[in-house]
Structure 1
Amino acid sequence: MTASDPHSESDRSQPVDDPSVSAPTAAGTARVTDAGSDGRPRTRTRRVRDRLERRAIVASAVVTTLLLLVMFYYPVATVFVESIVVEGVVTLAIFADLLRNPFYFGDFARLIAGESPLAVGQDLLSSDRRLGIVGFTAYQAFLSTLLSLALGLPMAYLLARYEFRGRRTLRSLTILPFVLPSIMVAVGFVATFGQNGTLNAVLGAFGLGPVSLMFSLEAILIAHAFYNAPLVARVTTAAWESVDASAIETARSLGASPFRAFRDVVAPQLYPAALMGAALTFVFTFGTFPIVLALGGIQLATVEVFVYQLIQDLNYAEAAALAIVELVISLGVLYGYLRYEAKHTVRSRGVRPLPRKSLSPPSLSVRELTPRFGLAIYGVIALFVFVSPVLSLIYRSVAGPTGGFTLAHYQFLIDRQATGAAYQARPWPAIRNSLLFAAAALAISLPMGVVISVLTTRRYRGRKLIDVVAMAPLAVSGIIVGIGLLRGPVFGFEVGDYRITVTGAVAIIAAHAVACYPFVVRTVAPGLESIDPSLLESSRALGASRTRALIDVELPLVWPGVVAGAAFALAISMGEFSSTVILATGTDQYTMPVAIERFIGRRLGPATAMGVVLLVVTSISFVIIDRLGGESYGL
């Protein structure tokens, strides 16, 4: 018998428990397994597992793409198609009618109709000019942007240039607009600036007359500043902290005055950040919905409010066309900013940040007192704009009609739960739906966000295109997504002889997941980008697949970002209103924000009580996610 014979005596003499030999087969032969990269033999199960691991990222990318197509791109495409296809015929007649309608475009519509630009310009400069719905939306967005810059830039200066007690807390609070539901903040502003609000109560205590800010442009602007001034401060603070101190010192040593050094060295590095904050603020406030719905009334309605009204009137084609006009304007603003950023962004490497000046030691000099005086003034403004609405919400939920403490508003919610009709908003279904939808949206958006983060931070072909395509939901209004999901999957579509439809709950979860996952990407991707590539190379050299390296090396390093992304996703889902109010109309799938909106139109007390419930539930969910993340990874 030759040595190559598999039935040689030497082969049969090997111990049965040798790991390199499998158990005897039915034919009495022994099968030698191949060795893996770690030197250990691989069984068939392990080979299958290794193949799955090697293809896991590709498979995850395919699944994520399909989810995006179904949950986002198909609904948005449905809206676009519905705006240009009327009774099976492709036409731009709806857009033409919109552009020529003074109700939407005011005096600008006369230009489309062929009137003299000179005559139209004279009317626009007169006191009785007509802006139309689109013009007013742009006007209030412009004013909101100016107010947000006026409040956000001083905050950025104080945070970046001075060290004082509470600075880190103040900087942490700049994340506030991303975690507070807009409809809850709107109720807080009603409780603050309403006829019987806390502002008038404070003024009355000093013998001053009442101030009426409700259903006014001023209330809308202040509410928008509440959300967007911290955003401006956050992005501008980062720019301040990246200014190279040595460049300023060089400019001063060459004879430049402090103002000249600021103008020529510091300002060029701040402009892109300030413009980014301005562009984002304009886009967010141009697409405003719950704030205006609660604080503005029909006389100050914006584009999104009228889109919602058209949907209520079942005028889907005009609603879709108006939503597309809004989307084009928003994308145009973002495109203009991105073009500016590409040409003017100053990139600094190895900078030495400017040292912060301490405000703690007491001093009576004018030079030292000035920033303290400025900080005190800004503190009063911040208390008025950023803190008072939330405190007023809590206070009004327990305040009686004639003063004093009461739990009547919470009792109303309990009574409504026990005896309310099926068509009325009840607390427990709203809480239950919010929690279930948030959990489901989190389960979808978190893996999607991690996968997209991996694809956009590694040297995959076309990663820039992936980033643009995946981040598109940030620029698309929830109203558009809601219309698309309603007119597409919810109403159903035909595939062969079958008609496929989804329930309202599934559509709401899809809308929430689409709104959530970009924020997961923005918290996870920077961490993945900063990981030392040598760590991945070492793990791959030791035989780990790309998926195994991600699970065992990368994710543990960026786990705080994953937990933060989960917290963002949860908060955004809990507070999502725009798409939910469309998809929940006429159903029992309403959430806490929708219930608040239904209460606020009738009784402010129950609306504030429901707002506090939303605040408590969101806070508890935050704590649970934070605790789970910390306990699992020792954070």
Structure 2
Amino acid sequence: MNDITFPQRWRVAFIAPALSVFIAFWLLPIAALVQVSGDGHPFATYAALLTNASYMRSLGQTVLLSAAVTLTTLVLSVIAGLLLARREFTGKRLLLALLTFPLAFPGVVVGFMVIMLAGRQGLIGSLSMKLTGDRWVFAYSIAGLFVGYLYFSIPRVIITVMASATKLDASLEEAARSLGASPWRILCDIVLPALAPGLIAAGAVCFATSMGAFGTAFTLATDIDVLPMTIYTQFTLSANMVTAAGLSIILGIVTWAVLAAARSATGSAVAATA
């Protein structure tokens, strides 16, 4: 079948809508953020932000939380994803539907569910009160936010793992098994390297989502110091547009750096497994 070629004017017409959306909803807002954050003295503004212990502690806590969520999500999703991709059992379709159901919930609803689980009147607190006489409450802390982020991160990664697992070459595993390789060695030497590109990409998206997630943190915010909440506080309560814009740019740069590193690593992983 011959390749379909379009005149130059049609190519421009096809790309114009996407380019317009990109300019209107990404480029112009970013340019406005950069302009506001500079406030006529960009170097002084960012130097003040980067040397402020409170802001950097908030950024560090956000990065650590996002990294912990990403690593935990990858481990749990690999186990569950491989099992679901390779095993058939009664109720599998229902289980998959339930696992992906959290994708339909906004962050505020996820936060409310964490409160119902580990809040002052939550299920865990009620059970611990009966068993130990002490009410365990962690919904309004980093631990609660960690649980909430896991809740909406795991379904995304499980879907990626299942899609990648269906493309694995089963003959390689059979050959390794026939040569006496243990299941652990097969997992480490064959399965995980083959899944690596998808896992890196999914992990990067999970990290970026956790870095910028706001709804869940807003719902649980009592003792939580993460950068999206700091930005919100500066913007709404303090009316400090310069600081809010500058912290937004810093948050974006850190997240974009991780995504760029993931793209580079994914390319290397693809080349290594080719």
Q: TM-score range by the shorter chain?
A: 0.7 to 0.9
The letter for the 2-side match of 1:81 is Q
The letter for the 1-side match of 2:27 is Y
> Does structure 1 residue 280 correspond to structure 2 residue 232?
no
State the partner residue of 1:67.
21
State the partner residue of 1:115.
none
Aligned equivalents of 2:184, 2:33: Cα separation in 1 = 51
Aligned equivalents of 1:187, 1:293: Cα separation in 2 = 10
Judge conservation of contact 1:216–1:296 (CA < 8 Å) in 2. Answer: yes
Q: How far 1:144 moved relative to its partner? A: 1.6
> Does structure 1 residue 304 correspond to structure 2 residue 228?
yes
> Does structure 1 residue 99 correspond to structure 2 residue 53?
no
The letter for the 1-side match of 2:25 is M
Q: Percent identity?
A: 26
Higher relative contact order at CA 8 Å, sep ≥6: structure 1 or structure 2?
A: 2
Aligned equivalents of 1:264, 1:174: Cα separation in 2 = 28
Deviations 1:36-84 (A, max 9, x none): xxxxxxxxxxxxxxxxxx9777435324422332233211210012222
State the partner residue of 2:85.
160
Judge conservation of contact 2:149–2:210 (CA < 8 Å) in 1. Answer: yes
Q: How far 1:302 moved relative to its partner? A: 0.9
Q: How far 1:260 moved relative to its partner? A: 3.3
Summarize the Cα distance change of 1:90–1:202 in structure 2 as closer, same or farther, 3 Å threshold.
closer
Q: How many residues align?
A: 266
Structure 2 residue corresponding to 1:215, chosen from 125, 137, 140: 140
Judge conservation of contact 1:183–1:290 (CA < 8 Å) in 2. Answer: yes
Q: How far 1:204 moved relative to its partner? A: 5.1
1:348-363 aligned at under 5 Å gives the runs: none
Judge conservation of contact 2:168–2:194 (CA < 8 Å) in 1. Answer: yes
State the partner residue of 1:323.
248
Aligned equivalents of 1:64, 1:142: Cα separation in 2 = 32
Which blocks of at least 5 consecutive residues in structure 2 are unaligned?
1-7
Structure 1 residue corresponding to 2:267, chosen from 314, 317, 342: 342
Q: How far 1:174 moved relative to its partner? A: 4.0
1:428-447 aligned at under 5 Å gives the runs: none
Aligned equivalents of 2:20, 2:92: Cα separation in 1 = 44
Aligned equivalents of 1:266, 1:326: Cα separation in 2 = 34
Aligned equivalents of 2:123, 2:247: Cα separation in 1 = 38
Deviations 1:402-460 (A, max 9, x none): xxxxxxxxxxxxxxxxxxxxxxxxxxxxxxxxxxxxxxxxxxxxxxxxxxxxxxxxxxx
> Does structure 1 residue 251 correspond to structure 2 residue 173?
no
Aligned equivalents of 2:114, 2:185: Cα separation in 1 = 42
Q: How far 1:222 moved relative to its partner? A: 0.8
TM-score, normalised by the number of residues in structure 2: 0.86
> Does structure 1 residue 239 correspond to structure 2 residue 190?
no
Aligned equivalents of 2:273, 2:218: Cα separation in 1 = 44
Aligned equivalents of 2:119, 2:186: Cα separation in 1 = 47
Give the SS at the match of 2:193.
helix
Give the SS at the match of 2:256.
helix
Judge conservation of contact 2:74–2:203 (CA < 8 Å) in 1. Answer: yes
The letter for the 2-side match of 1:97 is A
Q: How far 1:268 moved relative to its partner? A: 0.9
Summarize the Cα distance change of 1:258–1:215 in structure 2 as closer, same or farther, 3 Å threshold.
closer
The letter for the 1-side match of 2:200 is L
Aligned equivalents of 1:204, 1:90: Cα separation in 2 = 55
Aligned equivalents of 1:300, 1:264: Cα separation in 2 = 40
Judge conservation of contact 2:73–2:157 (CA < 8 Å) in 1. Answer: yes
The structure with the largest alpha-carbon Rg is 1
Give the SS at the match of 1:79.
helix
Give the SS at the match of 1:300.
coil
TM-score, normalised by the number of residues in structure 1: 0.39
Judge conservation of contact 1:228–1:281 (CA < 8 Å) in 2. Answer: yes
Q: How far 1:236 moved relative to its partner? A: 1.4
State the partner residue of 2:104.
179
Summarize the Cα distance change of 1:93–1:315 in structure 2 as closer, same or farther, 3 Å threshold.
same
Bigger proportion of residues as helix: 2
Summarize the Cα distance change of 1:253–1:241 in structure 2 as closer, same or farther, 3 Å threshold.
same
Summarize the Cα distance change of 1:143–1:59 in structure 2 as closer, same or farther, 3 Å threshold.
same
Structure 2 residue corresponding to 1:264, chosen from 164, 189, 192: 189
Give the SS at the match of 2:121.
coil
Judge conservation of contact 1:307–1:319 (CA < 8 Å) in 2. Answer: yes
> Does structure 1 residue 199 correspond to structure 2 residue 124?
yes
Q: How far 1:150 moved relative to its partner? A: 3.5
The letter for the 1-side match of 2:189 is D
Aligned equivalents of 2:194, 2:263: Cα separation in 1 = 15
The letter for the 2-side match of 1:102 is A
1:469-484 aligned at under 5 Å gives the runs: none
Summarize the Cα distance change of 1:195–1:284 in structure 2 as closer, same or farther, 3 Å threshold.
same
State the partner residue of 2:5.
none
Summarize the Cα distance change of 1:151–1:258 in structure 2 as closer, same or farther, 3 Å threshold.
closer
Summarize the Cα distance change of 1:157–1:208 in structure 2 as closer, same or farther, 3 Å threshold.
farther
Aligned equivalents of 1:144, 1:258: Cα separation in 2 = 27
The letter for the 1-side match of 2:229 is V
State the partner residue of 1:289.
214
Summarize the Cα distance change of 1:307–1:62 in structure 2 as closer, same or farther, 3 Å threshold.
same
Give the SS at the match of 2:140.
coil
1:479-498 aligned at under 5 Å gives the runs: none
Aligned equivalents of 1:163, 1:348: Cα separation in 2 = 28
> Does structure 1 residue 149 correspond to structure 2 residue 103?
no
